[in-house]
Amino acid sequence: MQVITLYITRTMNIILTSAHREEMLRYIYNHQNKDGGWGTHIEGHSTMLGTVVNYVALRLLGQPSRGGIKLVEKASKWIIDHGGATMIPSWGKPYLSRFVGPITDLVLSLRHELYGIPYEEIDWNKARHSCSKEDLYYPHPFIQNFLWDSLYFIGEPLLKRWPFSYIREKSLQKAIKNIHYEDQNTRYMDISSLEKVLNMLACWAEDPNSDAFKFHLARIHDFLWIAEDGMKMQNLGSQNWDTSFALQAIMASNLIDEYGSTLKRGKELLKNSQVRENPQGDFRSMFRSISKGAWSFSDRDTGWQVSDCTAEGLKVMLLLSQKTPDVAPVEPEILYDAVNILLSLQTKKGGLTAWEPKGAESWLEVCCREVL
């Protein structure tokens, strides 16, 4: 998805060196399944979502569709044999139909390669509900298809006409305001890589020369990760999560004396990584909740509270206070704020939500069932 966004915004050559591209290609090829496709995750069976987005990434990174690269041709055959890219699930459709960027020769070629029939002959009304059986985890309920069709056949024409067009414009202004708020409060990391890619494209569509878009570009490398299998874009780092468990393992193994300096440095990392402020301004009007005292999955920059990460961070701080007399005492405020976050995420039934207090009702799940 990041490669697609960089291509649309014409910033691929700015962000990705030839070495970046080579390692990304190596990663994609290393995780291609024997049947030519890719899974939604690296250990999964081939899906239309995984295969299409990886195939498009290969082409945008410079791989030819024909001419001797059998793995590319094999991927193309998998897509066509399984009904073409119109069968991609709802998660994938936005990535193939985003803000219309430059219609280049490569884009026109992809339109020919992905669908199996001429692009102009595709029935897009039918494609709206199409989903490959390899991707369909739960069939569409009638209400979901009804709502989607109503938005297209009734809502879309109305919103193009005054006075409804005025409502649409106000809604778009509200949407971009929320995007900017999320970006600023997470220092342009956002809650995950998936959201970052979408927010980044929205900022570019609003103003390609904006500071917001430039700030997004500056943080892309924070998501890139290279390992023995190549370079990938990780969802988020796991610094806080990994550190909490590593410190617990040292203490549980009675290795405190041998790793005393490690415990001290780990404690300082967690202390410095704890979120020390709530989102800026009237955060509740921006659909956010308190975050002061939380630990995120990665680091302090993201600013998003996570209940289990906070619980593990709190547990480590308490253990360090009890078992490591050489480590400086933990300030009470750190503990109080962490407990406050956990209590704020507790539901009426006693359990805890992952990210934020429960808001929506369960009946909303019928509106979007497919890949989740």
Whole-Å CA distances, 187 to 158, 233, 301, 329:
37, 18, 6, 30
Structure tokens at 38: 């890719």
Structure tokens at 60: 């945008």
- Quote the CA–CA distance of 110 and 207 in Å, as a whole number: 27
Residue 192 contacts by C-beta under 8 Å, 6 or more apart in sequence? 235, 236
- Quote the CA–CA distance of 23 and 16 in Å, as a whole number: 11
User: How is residue 25 annotated by DSSP?
Assistant: H
Both ends of the chain: CA-CA distance in Å?
Answer: 19
| Residue among 2, 347, 50 at smallest CA distance from 192 | 2
Catalytic residue among 35, 183, 308, 326: 308
Whole-Å CA distances, 95 to 36, 53, 197:
21, 8, 10
Whole-Å CA distances, 329 to 65, 253, 360:
61, 21, 40
Query: Does 135 participate in catalysis according to the annotation?
Result: no
Whole-Å CA distances, 340 to 78, 120, 156, 313, 333:
51, 57, 44, 13, 10
Structure tokens at 223: 């998501």
Quote the Cα angle for 240-244-247, to 5°: 135
- Quote the CA–CA distance of 93 and 98 in Å, as a whole number: 8
Which run of H or of E encompasses 182?
helix 164-185
User: How is residue 299 annotated by DSSP?
Assistant: -
Residues identified as active-site = 308
